[in-house]
Amino acid sequence: MAVVKELIDKYESGRGTIKGKTHTSKRVLLVDKYPGLTETGVPAYRDPHPIDPSLLVTQIDYEGYGGLDETLEGPFKYRMSKITVTYSTDTSGDTTMSRKEMEGQVLDIGGFGAFLTSGNTVERPRNIPIGIWKIIVPRRVLVEPTATIASLWNKVNDNGFGLEGYTFPAETVLFEGASSRRVWDSEEQAIMYEIEYCFKVNFFGWNCGYDGAAGVWDIILPRQFAVADFSGFPG
């Protein structure tokens, strides 16, 4: 077991910072024979502060000195180390939960209506602008769900689909695809996949068009987009 002494007088221990709603505090420890971060007596990542348990360890900095001890293994071969432990109430990492983008598109709704002045029937199909929601949902996972992404790509929801706290009606949400990258997750201590799922919402329905003769929006057969079960997706 290492000998751990806290340096308080004229050192950083006991000092802290309050910025907005975030409280940060540091402790400086002098450690004898410190072979690694798991050594008994030294705080570990996410450990609570001994006085204020609302503060958790978010960072550990070490500085070795006093010569090398070849009997030790790993990067901590110094006979003594100065350890600076940073505690903070901000442990979230400001993770993005989702984001929305609004975009305009032009929709062909077919021939209908008449001109105001002449009263002549509009024979050509008419285009109208509609608003489309683009919703990006990020996730971080150990295993990339390639098969699920491929099976749902370019399909629409077959039933009501919950997203962003709202349940969208059937066939109004199109899964446009996903992008991913491999990242190192310091909390999980593992390589993970950071995936951004892209959905587009059309409140008229992706397989609908305007029936001018009937004066209603209706599904056009055959459907342009196949339907799929989005239950539990993206998780």
- What's the chain's average pLDDT? 77
pLDDT of residue 160: 95
Give the residue among 197, 193, 189, 198 at the shortest CA–CA distance from 181: 193
- Give the span between the Cα atoms of 228 and 189, in whole angstroms: 35
151's enclosing H/E stretch is helix 146-152
Number of C-beta neighbours around residue 39 at 10 A: 17
This prediction has a pTM of 0.56
Quickly state the pLDDT bin for 24 (edges 50, 70, 90).
confident
pLDDT for residue 51 is more than 70: yes
CA dihedral 74→76→79→83, nearest 10 degrees, is -160
Report the range out of 8-12, 158-162, 219-223 with the highest average pLDDT: 158-162
- Give the span between the Cα atoms of 129 and 107, in whole angstroms: 6
Give the residue among 104, 81, 75, 97 at the shortest CA–CA distance from 33: 81
For β-strands 156-157 and 227-228, DSSP reports them as: parallel
| 155-160 average pLDDT score | 96
Q: 129 to each of 153, 170, 179, how far by Cα in Å? A: 25, 22, 28
pLDDT of residue 61: 84
Residues whose CB is less than 8 angstroms from the CB of residue 203 and which lie 6 or more positions away in sequence, other chains included: 169, 172
Strands (E), 77-154: 78-88, 99-108, 127-141
pLDDT of residue 152: 96
pLDDT of residue 91: 62
**For the segment 70-104, what is each residue's pLDDT rounded down to a tens digit?**
776 655 567 777 888 888 887 665 555 566 666 66
The structure tokens 């370019």 sit at 154
